[in-house]
Structure 1
Amino acid sequence: MIQTRNDELRSYQVGPVRAELRELTTSDNREGLLEGTPHLHRRMNLIRIDKAVPGTAQVYVHDLDGIRADAEKQVDAWLPRETVRARLTSGWTPEGIAEYGHTELSVMWFQSPAQDPYAHLATILGPLDWTSLARFVPFED
């Protein structure tokens, strides 16, 4: 896991909002895979994503529609080797919220180990709309 200190947070522009990267993790996308095919691998990842995403508020999976489309047909290309997850926060809060807190969004994608996850995150976040994707998290006492 890659972590940064609070005074070294990376900031990203997400639509009209500035967000700070709080956590970025990478994992081997094929860990535990003993045998199979690229098609089966995509289907297994979809099953994991479908189980995890509904229970996790405000998670955006990059290129999920493309992964779903590939899983519907016979595919010979493996998904990239790494699964990357990033958690971002922002001081922006939706209108009408009187509580103190922040908004949060988690982003997940697949990439090759040679790619820079920070640069790839910037390209993913650029076209997203934070105000429609992020969830409000109230500060706790």
Structure 2
Amino acid sequence: MIQTRHDDLRSYQVGPVHAELRGLTVSDDREGMLEGTPHLHRRFRLMGIEKAMAATPHLYVHDLDKVRADAERRVEEWLPREAVHARLTSWWTPEAMAEPGHTALSVMWFQTPAQDPFAYLATIVRPLDWTSLAGFVPFED
């Protein structure tokens, strides 16, 4: 797992909104698989994504349509094995929101071990619309 200290937060431009990276986890997408095929791995990956989307509000999965299409095909090529989860926050809040808080967005994607997850995150989030994807998180006392 890659971690940064609070004073080392990385900043990202997400559409018109400035956001800070609060957490980034890189894990082995094939962990726990003792046997299988590339096709089975694709189906397990899609099931894992659907479970994560149900459990995590405001989760954006990069290339989700491609992942779904891959799960339907019988392809004998292994997918990239690293699953990456990032959590971003911003001080931007919807105008209608009267209570104090911030907005948050989780992003998930898959990559090879050779790719830099921080640089790849920047390319994923730059064209996104933070205002429609992120969720409001009120401050708790």
TM bin (shorter chain): over 0.9
Secondary structure (helix, strand or coil) at the match of 2:55 reads coil
Structure 1 position 77, deviation (Å)? 1.7
Q: In structure 2, what is the equivalent of residue 18 of structure 1?
A: 18
Among the aligned pairs, what percent are the same residue? 74
Q: Which residue of structure 1 aligns with residue 108 of structure 2? A: 108
Q: Deviations over 1:92-135 (max 9, x none)?
A: 00110001000000000000111100000000001111000000
Under a length normalisation based on structure 2, what TM-score does the superposition of the two structures give? 0.97
2:88 aligned residue = 88
Distance in 1 separating the partners of 2:59 and 2:77: 25
Q: Deviations over 1:3-24 (max 9, x none)?
A: 1122111000000000000000
Aligned to 1:61: 61
CA distance in 2 between counterparts of 1:18 and 1:9 reads: 12
1:119 to 2:134 alignment: no
Residue type of the partner of 2:85? Answer: R
Gaps of 5+ in 1: none
* Pairs within 5 Å for 1:2-41: 2-41=2-41
Equivalent pairs counted in the alignment come to 141
Give distance in 2, aligned partners of 1:69 and 1:31. Answer: 23
**Alpha-carbon distance between aligned partners in 2 of 1:17 and 1:136, rounded to the nearest angstrom:** 14
Matched AA of 1:53 = M
- 1:15-69 C-alpha deviation (Å, 9 max, x unpaired): 0000000000000111111111111101011111112202210001111100100
Cα distance in 2 for partners of 1:5, 1:101 equals 22
State the SS of the aligned residue for 2:19.
strand
Q: Which runs of 4+ in 1 moved over 2 A?
A: none
> What are structure 2's unaligned runs of at least 5 residues?
none
What is residue 128 of structure 2 aligned with on the other side?
128
Q: Report the Cα distance in structure 1 between the residues aligned to 2:108 and 2:72, rounded to whole angstroms.
A: 21
